[in-house]
Amino acid sequence: MASLLRIALQKSGRLSEDSYQLFKECGIRFDYGTGKLKSVSSNFPAEFLFLRDDDIPGYVEDGVADLGIVGENVAVETGRPVQTVHKLGFSKCRLSIAIPRGVDWAGIQDLQGKNIATSYPNLLGTYLAGEGVQAEIHEISGSVEIAPSIGLAEAVCDIVSSGSTLLSNGLKEVETIFRSEAILIARPALDADKQALVDKLLFRIKSVQAAKNNKYIVLNAPNDALDQITALLPGMKSPTVTPLATEGWSSVHSVLNENEFWENIEAIRAAGAEGILVIPIEKMIY
Ligand code: ATP
Ligand code: MG
């Protein structure tokens, strides 16, 4: 029987939508939602399993799934021997220590002998050990941010993105101990057939990511400024230059990293470029 790649995704939570979207953009179709626990793709040899995120590294280690998408925070916390295949760039967040807003903070040594509530005892323990701080770590599985107000702990260590949850619980962020984003993890030592499928998937993921970071640029340039303008638009090989119907002008097409575009835009305009269009790219194959 031909190989079927088994891929574990978070059923519903902060990783789910972007994970589903990523496969959609890779042209891999499958059904999800309405309480489904698994689903076979209709156009790629893959079966998707929908799970709690905490369970995904374990299932990947045990070989129940070949691949999974989790936050790096969860991958490191669970300590399972899985390999990180690729960073995915979404679900970015940080793991931070926070204390009540009215309490002074001089540095991490302030936590010496204190109680800290967290769902990440391993990450926090490693960090504190590295700083030479001895503290009591209380592992709780959710609603960590209320621990100080109910007298359970003097500090918390929790996931932060905007900081609004901390703020509404009267806490302030004092130290970031870990930065995380979604990653694709794999079972080590996949057989050759499955590895070939992983490579195929990874090729698509990289094409989708490259397209997101780049824009297709079209502009009109006076011919005497072409050298100057094309130097600012390197493109995948070099820009395409075609004459316009108007004498003395050309149309220039190129692909540019979006950040580079914003950095060069003033120089491009100052050189005489007009009618500049910035167009999204759907896929980008190197
Ligand atoms: P599950 O029910 O699957 O166990 P959960 O409640 O443990 O879900 P979520 O809150 O959905 O987990 O978060 C999943 C992952 O998304 C986290 O481990 C983290 O990597 C990332 N994450 C958490 N909070 C945020 C946030 N506010 N912004 C962006 N990413 C986040
Ligand atoms: Mg979870």
The residue ranges of every structural domain in the chain are 5-89+181-211, 93-179, 213-280
The closest-lying atom of ligand 1 relative to the alpha carbon of residue 53 is 3
Distance of CA 10 from the midpoint of ligand 1 (Å): 9
Q: How many angstroms separate the CA atoms of 257 and 148, rounded? A: 45
Beta strands in the chain (DSSP E): 5-10, 38-40, 46-51, 67-71, 83-87, 93-100, 115-118, 136-139, 155-160, 171-180, 182-186, 214-222, 240-243, 249-257, 274-280
pLDDT at position 30, please?
96
Q: Do domains 93-179 and 213-280 have the same CATH topology?
A: no
Where helices occur in the chain by DSSP H, the ranges are 16-25, 56-62, 72-78, 121-131, 164-168, 192-213, 226-231, 258-270
pLDDT of residue 280: 94
Please report the atom of ligand 1 found closest to the CA of residue 54.
4
**Closest CA relative to residue 221, chosen from 209, 236, 235, 233:** 233
- Cα–Cα dist 140/152, whole Å: 10
61: its two tokens: 């280690």
How far is Cα 243 from Cα 220, in angstroms, rounded to an integer? 9
Ligand 1 lining (C-beta closer than 6 Å): 10, 13-15, 52-54, 71, 73-74, 91-93, 159, 161, 180
Instruction: Report strand pairing: 182-186 vs 67-71.
Output: antiparallel
What pLDDT score was predicted for residue 1?
59
Q: Which fold has domain 213-280?
A: Alpha-Beta Plaits (3.30.70)
* Domain with residues 5-89+181-211, CATH architecture: 3-Layer(aba) Sandwich (3.40)
Distance 260 CA to ligand 1 centre (A): 32
Residue nearest to atom 30 of ligand 1 (CA): 91
Residue 240's beta-bridge partner residues?
253
Pocket test for ligand 1, best of 9, 53, 94 (most atoms within 8 A of CB): 53
What are the backbone dihedrals phi and psi of residue 161, each rounded to the nearest 5 degrees, phi first?
-120, -65
Q: Which of 60, 7, 59 is nearest to 30 (CA)?
A: 7
Nearest CA to ligand 1 atom 14: 14
Give the separation between CA 227 and CA 223, rounded to whole angstroms: 8
How far is 178 from 31, CA to CA, in rounded Å? Answer: 34
Q: Atom 2, ligand 1: which residue's CA is nearest?
A: 52
> pLDDT digit string (tens) for 154-178?
999 999 988 888 999 999 999 999 9
Which portions of the chain are predicted below pLDDT 70? Answer: 1
Of 16, 93, 119, 157, the residue with max ligand 1 atoms within 8 A of its CB, to mutate for a pocket test, comes to: 93
Whole-structure pTM value: 0.90
Q: Enter the tokens of residue 237.
A: 């090989």
Looking at domain 93-179, which of 3.40.190.10, 3.30.70.100, 3.30.910.10, 3.40.640.10 is its CATH number? Answer: 3.40.190.10
